[in-house]
Structure 1
Amino acid sequence: MQNQFYNAHRHLHQDDQLHTPAESKNSENVKPEVDEGEKQNQKFEQNTFFEDKEANLNTIHEQDSHNSHNNPQNTEDFEDIIAHQNSLGQKDLDQQEPDQQEISDHQNTAVHKEFEIFQDSQLPSDSQEFRSEFNPDSETLHETVVNQQNQDTNEISHEPSNEALNTADLNSDVDSANFPDTDHTADAVNSKGEEMKEDELTPLEIKANELYEQGEVLINNTYHKNYRAAYVFFKAAAQLNHTKALEYIGFGHFFGDHCNQNFTKAKEIFEDLSNRGSARGQLGLGLLFSIGMSVNSSQAKTIVYLTFAALGGDPLAQMALGYRYWAGIGVEMKCESALTYYRKVATLVSNMVSVSGGPVIQRIRLQEEVENTHSNSGLLDDDLLQYYHFLADKGDMQAQVVLGQLYYQGGRGVEINHERALHYFLMAAESGNALALAFLGKMYSEGSPVVKQNNETAISYFKKAAEKGNAVGQCGLGLMYLRGQGVEKDYINALKYFTLAAEQGWAEGQLQLGIMHYSGLGVRRDYKLAVKYFNLASQGGHILAFYNLAQMHATGTGVLSNCHMAVELFKNVAERGRWSEMLMEAHSLYREGNVEAALIKYTFLAELGYEVAQSNVAYILDQGESMMFLKQETNKRALLQWTRAASQGSTIARVKMGDYHYYGFGTSVDYEVAASHYRVASEQHHNAQAMFNLGYMHEKGLGMKQDVHLAKRFYDMAAETSTEAQVPVTLALLKLGLFYGVDVFSKEMEFYKDFLKKLNPQLYLGPDWDLYVITFLAVLLGLVILLRRQMGQAA
């Protein structure tokens, strides 16, 4: 089957041992020759590390890719899709080898925010031993756009992976990394065929390519992207039947980005793209069938389309499939299959990471943001940002460093802008700030469209920062010694500076120490120490540390093999891909009041397995803010998303599941099921609301035995767990005490009534008991009178 996906090499950087941060493109003063001993020392033992287990995982992947064909329930769905695929009539498809996929070479494609990364989704070839990273400067970026936009498609052979634990040879030629890991042999073989195809283009096809390329240029600007104008070109190209332009437009209609939101139109475009073999079109159809927009919801068809898209190399489809195999949604829960898919996506994401440790992701839960009004959920307030600018311009060194870091790394609602970062770092460096000096060293060692890569300048800044005891500078200097950039390669000095940085808690230093101990560079190889340092770096949030830990857990290197742990770690890496920028975009739309658009973006990410997106979809539906569905359907969809989020450990979602079963929202009332969810939230997450709810249910005897003492115990636990629960708990205890007192008094009155009943003389003397009593009293009175007379006579 022929599928297309994108190569966007502008985000890739050169890798080091294991998966290390980026090595600069134009490394200066690097020793071209290294003796054989060093080469052997740097070699990562590709043929011994992960080889057997990787082969096993590939076998599993091949089996999984055909599982749905063997599922009787999906037979009709597969027949429909296969019929579509068989309708493909292109000549190039007929000529393609069965093992090969068509891959677009329209390199350097950027798209509208969330789809910027869609076009960065070129998966590294499984036949490559190592991956490379590349961070081109502005001149190289421009040349790449010009040279690659007019090329057609190449073919890549997909061979079984013999992947090592995300590392590149330290001596690899960085300049050879202009493309992601592709099979260069296949490229050479097909180059002649490409020229022939280019000559065969019709005038309309040439015009469509030109329009598409004009749109690309508008969104490939470093800082000033013009999406609105770009979509004008994409629409024009799409009218001329340009496949990639149609992919833009299809998802534009899906999300409502620069196109009218129209699920029916999106479906038509996705079907057309799917018939052409477009993996992106198949992904779109799979999502529509999953969420039931413009089509009847069908998990079977979802799995079919996602499987074809994943086989076509689409990382988002692989991510969605990985989540489904991990959670058992529409397929049998299978950890090994989830591992296979998530590993592919994590590998792609890890290739995009530089020494900054990966993008900063804001995972904002709407319910928490509303409930904690005093918190800004990690976003930097505009007024505060302006205040920082004011202080920085006045010469405040601390403000200058803060702004430099914000613009260098992005996050907290601030977009990356290396121009501004350089400006503020230079201002602070003039005052001798060590952190600013270190970050200037990072910028020059990596290179960017703003500063040309320069090892000598980088070393100068790193040394100044290291002399001041700065961990960032120490780590940067260690990297220069490790790679031999601008200095002689020296593992002893590299180890020294990494250790100094790691002791200060700098994640990059801890990562590099882990790499050196894993590879045996300057030290005795020690996998357990490598795991230790990777764990420390992961606590600092370094994405490559998560990736390397995942590889080690997947293969049992230095630790016991643990598929579940490996999947969770790979999932963590995969969710930090640049498509995660959609989280912030959806949040911005929600804050602006565009709830429906935010809901669709959150729903898209929820299908990829993002717990925060699932929680936010459920919250929007729970609050009744969307008019997209009927009331009962809204509750069912909300319950589905709460359930998925709860399975990923969300406490709020677990409590909400209890609420929905308690009140019968989207399901029937079931107090026992509600109590079970509250119990999980109470015992595993120590949630005060769940404890309070359990206390109430014990008080009323709902779904469990009525027990006032247990009710009071849960109320007390809720008050101890959260100060916010103290007021409602106090009121609940007062009410409980009042009703308990009334209940005790009623029981006491019942006791006295029973006692009086037992004294009823009719039970002993019969109905004439009063006559007997009167007679007895008369006799008693007579005796008293008699006694009194006798006592008087005696006196």
Structure 2
Amino acid sequence: MLYDNPKSQYKLGMMYKEGYGVVQDYSKALSWLTKALENGQEIATLLIGLIYYHGGTGVDRNYTKALHWFLEANNFILYEDKSTIRYSASVQYFTALIYQKGYCTSVDYSLALEWFMKAAANGKKSAMYEIGMMYLNGEGVRKQDDLACQWLTRSAELGYLSAQLCLGIFYYETSISCDYKQAMHWFQNAADVYSHRRKKQLKGCYVAQYYIGIIYLRGHGVYVDYELALQWFAKSAKNGYFLGKFELSLMYFKGQGVPKQEKLAVQWLTDLADLGHVESQVELGCIHLQETLTFCDFETAMGWFQKAANNNNNAQAQFNIGWMYRYGLGVEINHEIAFHWIEKSANQGYSMSQNMLGEMYSNGRGTTQDLNEAVLWFRKSLNNDENAIAQYNLAYCYFTGEGVPINEHTALIFLRKSAAQGYSEAQNELGVMHCEGELVEQNYGKGMMWFRKSIEHEKNSSSLCNIGDLYYGGLGVEKDVSLALSYYTRSAKMGNEDAIRILKQLQCTSDTLVNNDNKDINPHVMKSFKINLHNDAYGSDIMQRIIEGIKSFCVEDRHTVMLETEEESTRFFYIEDPSDAMDDIRKESPKFFYVEDTSKFFHVEDMSATFAERKRKGVQFLDL
């Protein structure tokens, strides 16, 4: 009879536990398993322990009772059949978890590892994974990546999704030397939904799909392929993984692998942000900060940054709030508030904030000036990330002795590191040092190389001007005045004062622009310096006075505009005809321009000094 047969009682209890042929009911399962145990079916202790560990219908979770029954079960387990081995491995695994997590007892990593090892010996894939993670994280054992990788690989090869995903991430971004081929192999295994049918495992598949998209997007170990990246992000997003939809939105916003659809992308990001996705909140803030976009709205940007900063304590959002207050974007400049937010971000280890905090301590903005504290934060920025700007700032500190003793050798090391990472200002400084032979052997070729690197990805007005100097002087390159002028002009357009001054000097130097041998000069460049007295585009009044045989002009700078391209309407200066004699003009010291009238063009130089000072420099008035 059923009531007298312990094996039948055990099987019925197992059916209620698993829901085989009946509605799953832990209360009924516990009742039948207890009867089976009372009648001598000791294997029932395994399932009783599991019921208390998980809890379910009619039975509350109770780790104390679970551990009691697990330990009882392990006292007499005889591996009679495969199902017994399977359940015993589970009991050993969950016993290990109780010790590892400190459920109903103190955390004991040694006991946890011991029980994981027993479970792994019985083929428990999840136990192999946990052992690997303990060695990977140094949890209760010495951190050993090689040993961790061995255990994770054993688990992954048996098809355990978490191990496959972890190995992919390990090879992609954790290991000392990234192995993108291995990373892709394990991500592809993990992304195979059909081999991981259990619903509770499928989230790992969607994460793996996201990582495959990232690999194709960034071209890590493969050629950049936006279309494939888009496909994998779409798979991940379709299955509800936030980061997959986030990256998909960014690709639509940028038009990568798909026609640009900014409005749709912003809508998707907004949907994610409204659900609390912090990366989307920060990205929306950044989008609304871009003045070139129709979405530009500083108030909206601040709103998203504040949500991310206040609700999620996001360091990047805190930094951006500080940035907006520091530079007055949509708010009044307030260095104290800026310092508050940047400090909060810096204390979380955000490298950009740590560097900016160093800058604020260095110049005393928002806080008391403290050069030692500035150096401290620059160093912290380097510890958390090889921040090129922080390296440049440290180089400056060692060059000048601000907060540290002067050490030119150390300064040069930091400057080179910053330049190697592509920081434009550092590259320009290295170029100057090579040209001047400062701390390095003079080499105009290397100087030119660094100046060119400096303007590859961003317009550096100083580097443009320096390249102009090399071409104008024929230093390390063949002399090319025309090319020099083009670089000076590009630099001047950006407001570089040195370039503007040089151009004015060149305009006034007759042996450069007005000579019988002007074949070096590009006519288009020359034309850009012309002042056309017959095309007053700005309605200025031009007066000319003839003083008995002497044509004299006193030119006042009313526009302070450099003439840029031949296509633009030529701007010229208001010319004031003084009523005083030339000698009287020479005695005065207003800011005025020297104008030389030739049949081809005029040359104008802004002369701020007095006539006496100009005369000492060899600048003379010419009678026309």
TM-score, normalised by the number of residues in structure 1: 0.25
Structure number with larger C-alpha Rg:
2
> Using CA pairs below 8 Å that are at least 6 residues apart, which structure has the higher relative contact order?
1
TM-score, normalised by the number of residues in structure 2: 0.31
